[in-house]
Chain A
Amino acid sequence: MYAFEYQRPATLADAVAALTRSEDARPLSGGMTLLPTLKQRLAQPSELVDLSGVPDLQGVREEDGALLIGAFTRHADVAAGETVRRRIPALARLAESIGDRQVRNRGTLGGSIANADPAADYPAAVVALNATVRTDRREIAGDDFFTGLFETALEPGELVVGVRFPVPDAAAYAKFRHPASRYALVGVFVARFGAEVRLAVTGAGPSVFRVPEMETALASDFRPEAIAGITVDADGLNGDIHAAPDYRAHLVTVMARRAVAACG
């Protein structure tokens, strides 16, 4: 790790001010990606702004029939939280499937989505649940938040404060784990809101994406069989030594079917 300065502000305003003051300052949330990156000397921030002391980023609450989850809520707390388990059990189960126990005890929702790792789990939920990302300065629709490989709509210095998840009628997440890293090689989150179905895929491409053809088919027939014949184009999907693009494309259909089946 290169040397850096460190501070732990007590308010959102102080955190934003610290991040705005220096171009090279980075927010530190759970640190599950940032710290390994620093250990490998792949980044050299001048300052880390630890968000753990900011009360505005914490907690889960219901708001107008939706769930508002603070950015600093750890995966373990989303997984075990009574409100989340009752209102959107699929989201709790997704959180329970992230990384391992120790990662879930540190990693946070805000950190995960701001990092926008192509293999992260939360992006699939944010997009499929049509969530809204709240920042210190605005609201961003889930569909507009993830803009590319490790890229989001966040401006420099802009902080995720929380995510507002509408409550679906049914939802499920099916993940195929990378054999080594155990990140999502392909993860599919499907959510049904009345007649509308949204389906988002993580892991397979450079960034989370929806599959409109599957959504349309499921809107009229919400059964796994309805999408069994629908495949995504392998062009542009990720490929590595564990999974070439065509295999990932195949897994999208399989995982999508399993997610629908898991909706019961």
Chain B
Amino acid sequence: MANPSGIGASVRRREDKRFLTGRGTYTEDIRRPNETRAYILRSPHAHARIAGIDTADAQAAPGVVAVFTGADMAADGVGSLPCGWLIHNKDGSPMKEPPHHPIARDKVRYVGDPVAVVIAETTAQAKDAAELIVVDYEELPAVASLRAALDEGAAGLHDDAPGNVCYDWHLGDAAAVDAAFAQAAHVTTLELVNNRLIPNAMEPRAAMGEYDPATGEHTLTTTSQNPHVIRLLMGAFVLGIPEHKLRVVAPDVGGGFGSKIFHYGEEAIVTWAAKKIGRPVKWTAERSESFLSDAHGRDHLSKTELALDKDGRFLALRVSTVANMGAYLSTFSTSIPTYLYATLLAGQYRTPAIYAEVKALFTNTAPVDAYRGAGRPEACYLIERLVDTAAREMGIDRTEIRRRNFVPKEAMPYATPVALEYDTGDFARNLDMALPLVDYAGFAARKAEAAARGKLRGIGFATYIEACGIAPSNIAGALGARAGLYESAEVRFHPTGSVTVFTGSHSHGQGHETTFAQLVADRFGIPIDNVEIVHGDTAKVPFGMGTYGSRSLAVGGSALVKAMDKVERKAKKIAAHLMEAAEADIEVKDGRFAVAGTDKAVGIADIAMAAYIPHKFPLDELEPGLDEQAFYDPKNFTYPNGCHVCEVEIDPETGVTRVVAFTAVDDFGRVINPLIVEGQVHGGIVQGIGQALLENCVYDESGQLLTGSYMDYGMPRADDVPSFTVRYHEEAPCTHNPLGVKGCGEAGTIGASAAVMNAVVDALAEYGITHLDMPATPERVWRAINESRPAMAAE
């Protein structure tokens, strides 16, 4: 009988009860005796030289414990926040990597750049005192956008980065692309903006530093997706604290979406300051601070060209992208518009030649790094807008042009011209599943009905493929990664048969405490309640690379399987001994270890007991205990893929776009918990819809953030979106990990923005509108309609 909590069951989440009753423990919820509060004074200028800082009055203000500046950190030899991926230029030279200090030293480079920290008994006192700090700024001209950075004579942010260029990188075969274009029957060109976003996890970032002078141990509690990575980066590169004296804890974390992967300066500030003052130091961002100082996402300008033959078959793709790094390099910033973007430009299609060049620029804006999807939504949006545009120009149905160009499942494994090898995928199946769900055949009637109500109805398709579980470590290393990309797991059976799993993955909403426990319950046939999942603490978990890039199950889950394999191997030996049988005769089924051809069997609990009370144990052959650890380094990426379909209605009078239907058909490989997987898709879709219709991070020319709160940054709310139709199939499981899983965390976001925009452009097609940049705000849509009217009248 299948385990009711096993693989494939929609087990209700075990973590929910604490969240639903207000008993979650987020960083800001933790109280320490004698704790202090830090407030960070941030630059109001986008670009300025710091001529001097006078903190005397602040130091003397009520409740103030200490005030520190960049000079204090420099005096203690505090280092620069490191970048985790080295990119090489076209000419082979390394990228520019200017220093990024936790507190600015000589210059500030974006509004929000820290200039001082005030530590006081209360936050209010710290804020009161911060107003007494006098900073002498000499303002400099700001470079507040990619377009401004591209201008000749733009001001320079970093002395060692001429022209504000971080790197100028490329991928693919330019000559082959040129040759293909020369043969093309049709060329579609498109210029695209991938709008800048602010991640906005609902829990603002927070960090608490503690120091124990008795042991010399530092503890950082932080809102992180990967505490071991923070320990490594902060310990080794910033503060010079060895791992055995530095514990990093990421307790309950209220969403990340990429923004909590990175090592932020505040983490170093509180850890360092706690030792300086001898008391715990806690910092919690206010939302307006999060807007200024969290790493932002996206922000590309791209020129794209697609060459096609007369039948609409893709011959070649040429892409030139400028990507915004912001003022400094955030931890994984450099890898996003390169190895997580250009490598995905084949999409689901058999485009034989692709060439992409990416120039990354510094600007006087917050650092830009991974945000849900990270490079892959940018690639999907680009390809799918281009494909739709080509279909329209050539008069080919949009589903047909896609079908004609899909990599067929028979061609798997398929090596793309941009360095990836897709192991599996059945793209036509996704589309075939989607078409009846969306009643594509009935769309014309729905459009006519909407028109009768004065509304413009459009339907949009997007297919996507993403590369998840970035790996393997040795290849990534050769491409510039400065970290391993494996995951660890430890499976500890206790004497009475309950289990504690230690995973290097980190849950900040994904439900690992349930899904990972299902894997264990399924494997050993034990009740899920007997399994505890421990994550997020470097003092407990052996090691970990954390959770990002939809990697948890594919990489962390695989490590868990490997550890369970080891447990099983040892358990078999113990079982053989207990039943006086040969190890080779032990069969394992549903957690029972049986002697083949007999009715003799023992359960895993009996084996665990024997392992820990080794009275009748072959101690010369076998160690006591049942506790195994494994590291798993994937052989390849996993390749989730899908087909998303959106229908919109536009009010031409006001320009308001409403998503009236959204259907996602996805291939995530094997699905462990359908309820959780569907939830991930729902959330992803709304972030994609958000980018397409609402969200836009805007700085003015002087580098002031105009969208610095929910008053100006449009966050999707419940009444901005409909309910969704979400389906998946398990017909093409991943071929190279033991679970056959691919990952589902980012899919919704990757497919949705392209599907929405294709629907918007479809709805507006009757006005002769062929493209609109995101977000398709009411004003933007209205203006496009308005500007097309004179042209239509003239025809």
Contacts and interface: CB of A to CB of B under 8 A. Distances in A.
On whether A and B touch (CB less than 8 Å), the answer reads yes
Given A1-B124, A254-B654, A180 B711 contact: yes
Contact of A180 (B131, B712, B782): B712
Contacts of B128: 2
B104 interface: no
A240 B698 CA distance: 11
A179 B714 contact: yes
A181 B710 contact: yes
Given A241-B706, A241-B707, A242-B777, A247 B783 contact: yes
Interface in B707-738: 707, 710-715, 717
Interface string A235-254: 00000111110010011001
Contact of B710 (A180, A242, A251, A254): A180
Contact of B653 (A182, A243, A254): A254
Interface residues of A, number: 18
Interface in A12-50: 40-41
B714 A251 contact: no
Nearest to B715: A180
A240 B124 CA distance: 32
A176 interface: yes
A242 B653 contact: no
Given A241-B698, A241-B706, A254-B654, A247 B714 contact: no
B694 A179 contact: yes
Nearest to B720: A179
Contacts of A240: 712
Contacts of A254: 653-654
B778 interface: yes
A241 to B, nearest CB: 5
A241 B654 contact: no
Contacts of A176: 654, 778
Interface residues of B, number: 24
A181 B712 contact: yes
A242 B693 CA distance: 12
Given A180-B713, A181-B712, A241-B707, A250 B782 contact: yes
A3 to B, nearest CB: 8
A262 to B, nearest CB: 15
- Between B131, B288, B653, B783, the greatest number of chain A beta carbons within 10 A of the residue's beta carbon is seen for B653
Nearest to A39: B286
A179 B777 contact: yes
Contacts of B694: 179-180
Interface in A219-264: 240-244, 247, 250-251, 254
B160 interface: no
Interface in A173-209: 176, 179-182
B779 A243 contact: yes
A61 to B, nearest CB: 34
Nearest to B783: A247
A41 B777 CA distance: 32
Contacts of B777: 179, 242
A181 B707 CA distance: 11
A247 B779 contact: yes
Given A179-B694, A179-B777, A244-B779, A251 B654 contact: yes
Contacts of B696: 241
B654 A180 contact: no
Nearest to B714: A180
Interface in B641-669: 653-654
Nearest to B653: A254
A176 B653 CA distance: 12
A173 to B, nearest CB: 16
Nearest to B128: A2
Contact of B779 (A41, A181, A242): A242
Contacts of B712: 180-181, 240-242
Nearest to B700: A241
Contacts of B717: 182
Nearest to A1: B124
Contacts of A250: 782
B286 to A, nearest CB: 9
Nearest to A40: B288
Contacts of B698: 241
A179 B698 CA distance: 15
- Between B694, B713, B779, the greatest number of chain A beta carbons within 10 A of the residue's beta carbon is seen for B779
B687 to A, nearest CB: 16
Contacts of A251: 654
Nearest to B786: A250
Contacts of B782: 247, 250
A141 B696 CA distance: 42
A2 B653 CA distance: 46
Contacts of A241: 696, 698, 706-707, 712
Nearest to A182: B717
Contacts of B706: 241
Contacts of A242: 712, 714, 777, 779
A220 to B, nearest CB: 24
Interface string B780-792: 0011000000000
A1 B288 CA distance: 15
B65 to A, nearest CB: 19
A216 to B, nearest CB: 23
Interface string B374-413: 0000000000000000000000000000000000000000
Interface string B102-144: 0000000000000000000000100110010000000000000
Interface in B666-718: 694, 696, 698, 706-707, 710-715, 717
Interface string A111-141: 0000000000000000000000000000000
B122 to A, nearest CB: 12
A254 B786 CA distance: 14
A1 B710 CA distance: 20
A242 B694 CA distance: 10
Contacts of B778: 176, 179, 243
Contacts of A247: 779, 782-783
Nearest to A244: B779
Contacts of B707: 180, 241
Nearest to B698: A241
Interface string B214-234: 000000000000000000000
Interface string B465-478: 00000000000000
Nearest to A251: B654
A225 to B, nearest CB: 14
A1 B131 CA distance: 12
A243 to B, nearest CB: 5
- Between A180, A181, A241, the greatest number of chain B beta carbons within 10 A of the residue's beta carbon is seen for A180
A209 B327 CA distance: 44
A40 to B, nearest CB: 8
Contacts of B127: 41
B480 to A, nearest CB: 37
B197 to A, nearest CB: 13
A224 B488 CA distance: 68
A228 to B, nearest CB: 11
B224 to A, nearest CB: 27
A195 to B, nearest CB: 29
A1 to B, nearest CB: 7
A181 B711 contact: yes
Contacts of B715: 180
Nearest to B693: A179
Given A180-B710, A181-B710, 4 more contacts: A1-B124, A41-B127, A176-B654, A179-B714
Interface of A: 1-2, 40-41, 176, 179-182, 240-244, 247, 250-251, 254
30 contacts: A1-B124, A2-B128, A41-B127, A41-B131, A176-B654, A179-B694, A179-B714, A179-B778, A180-B694, A180-B707, A180-B711, A180-B712, A180-B714, A180-B715, A181-B710, A181-B712, A182-B717, A241-B698, A241-B706, A241-B707, A242-B714, A242-B777, A243-B778, A243-B779, A244-B779, A247-B779, A247-B782, A247-B783, A250-B782, A254-B654
Name the 4 nearest CB pairs between A and B, nearest first.
A180-B714, A181-B711, A179-B714, A247-B779
